[in-house]
Structure 1
Amino acid sequence: MLEVLVAAKEPLSQERKEALKQEAEKIFQEVLGTPPGRLRVFILEEREDQSPR
């Protein structure tokens, strides 16, 4: 599992989220030899206008 925390003023588009996931999967496959389908990528967004949880 890979957790990506994104801090930005605007939310990420669905296309940008998918691109981040694909890039992370590619890196894990190339560098660590992680088999396709074995990595789960979670993108958590935190914006400046959100109050802390």
Structure 2
Amino acid sequence: QAGVDPAAFEAWEFERFLLQPMDGPARVENTQAAIAYCLAHPQWRLSVQTHKYLGIP
């Protein structure tokens, strides 16, 4: 999401840091960006809404 830096949340005391790509027309690009971020920042895990990838509303 434009204007949001996941690193801004790293000071918070979460047990898990999950990053989910934003849905919409740029879903493929957003997914690639989320994967790249998680690979570069191992503290973060990728999260997806499986039903959207399966075509379930």
Q: TM-score range by the shorter chain?
A: 0.3 to 0.5
Q: Which has the higher strand share?
A: 1
TM-score by length of 2: 0.35
Higher RCO (C-alpha under 8 Å, 6+ residues apart): 1
Give the number of the structure whose alpha-carbon radius of gyration is greater: 1
